[in-house]
Amino acid sequence: MGRRAFGTLRKLPSDRWQASYLGPDGKRHNASSTFTTKKAGDDWLTRVDASIQTGDWSPTPEHAKTLTVRAYADIYLARRNLRPSTVDGYRKLLDGLIFPQLGDVPMAGLTPPLIQQWHDNLNPKRRPSHAANAYSLLSGLCNMAVRQDQLLKTNPCAIRGAGRKTVAHEVIPATELEVDLMAEAMPGRWRLAVLIAAWCGLRQGEILELRRGDIDLKDAWIKVTRNAPRVHGQSIPGPPKTKKGVRDAPIPPFLVPAFEHHLETFVGPGKDALLFTAAPLVKARVPVAARVPANTPGTNHLSPSTLQDWWEKARAAAGRPDLHFHDLRHTALTWWAQHGATTGELQALAGHENSQIALRYQQATRERLKALAATL
């Protein structure tokens, strides 16, 4: 038997070679025929390995007949170049909403009536967006099964509008006074996070991954190069949500003193020191050096759940219990649009891939001006 980095070669009594490998679905697959030489089997395994790396791998016809939704989901996720946070989100949808009813069903056994029954049985108390996301994920999985592996003749996900998410939260931008009140209600160590979101338009994950070296107070810029989504309870630093997310965000001049105070008071030395940490607040009066947390790159991040706990108190203090933390980003972009930012400038500020998203904030501003004109 010959072992290699990928797959296994075994010489048979007939002097022919049998090749096998462990597939992305976690099961062992044999070549449909044996090989006259070891090199031929080795070349075949090399091609299979390459197909797995490029996402072009398909199960053998014999195995495909019994391939379950649970097993095919592993193949689906392995083929796609997804961010860890996206994979984690998909896994939660699969484990929580798809697998309980459909996990052990063969892919070839998925039918429109079965999909309809699954959709009807989804917990009605769940947020509508969860059901829509689960349906979209299942539909994408079935699309791959149709187009790439021929496990299905047509996509059985045929429920009209099931993947469409309804807007359950209408954002009313905060006022400057409300932002000030919310910032003041936050612990001093995290107050600047509210101001960055409301005036600079950064995403929450981008804010929680900011480090001393990302802040240029001389020219008043924030270098946004990373994001820190939570995966299995841990912050996983990585690139921003979109390619356009790598950007420089301007700091309004009036915020520079707040940055200076925060860096001096709450941020450790070194360019890799996190701006916002999970270290508990120090109530006693102690020297600045004693209050500075010893940050290590990739550790001690302030968790979104901790930020959320304090954010709920802060928004209540400002009389805005409806406001999500992400709505501060919406607020920032609306303010910039009101002050004359073009579509391209809004897109650059926010790191949006699509200019149509930036247009929403300009449209909101135009609607507001129209409403004001009606009161004259």
Judge if 322 and 259 occupy the same domain. Answer: yes
Count how many residues are written for the chain.
Answer: 376
> What pTM did the predictor assign?
0.62
Judge if 201 and 257 occupy the same domain. Answer: yes
**Residue 196 has what pLDDT?**
96
Judge if 208 and 328 occupy the same domain. Answer: yes
Q: Hey, is 146 helix, strand or coil?
A: helix
**Residue 175 has what pLDDT?**
93
**Residue written as tokens 């075994």?**
10
Residue 192 within any structural domain of the chain: yes
Give how many domains the chain has, as a whole number. Answer: 3
**Residue 162 has what pLDDT?**
85
Residue 333 within any structural domain of the chain: yes
Residue 24: name the closest of 136, 148, 135, 132 by CA.
Answer: 148
**Residue 352 has what pLDDT?**
78
Judge if 190 and 325 occupy the same domain. Answer: yes
Catalytically annotated residues: 203, 326, 329, 352, 361
Tell me which DSSP letter residue 351 carries.
Answer: T
**Residue 169 has what pLDDT?**
66
Q: What is the DSSP string of 179-233?
A: HHHHHHHS-GGGHHHHHHHHHH---HHHHHT-BGGGEETTTTEEEE--B--EETT
Residue 64 within any structural domain of the chain: no
* Per-residue pLDDT reduced to its tens digit, 231-260: 666 777 777 777 778 999 999 999 999 999
Low-confidence ranges of the chain (pLDDT < 70): 1-3, 59-65, 123-127, 165-169, 230-233, 279-299, 355-376
Contact yes or no for 199/336 (Cβ under 8 A): no
Judge if 239 and 97 occupy the same domain. Answer: no
Strand 215-216 vs strand 221-224: parallel, antiparallel, or unpaired? antiparallel
What is the span of the domain harbouring residue 89?
Answer: 69-147
Residue 313 within any structural domain of the chain: yes
Residue 226 within any structural domain of the chain: yes
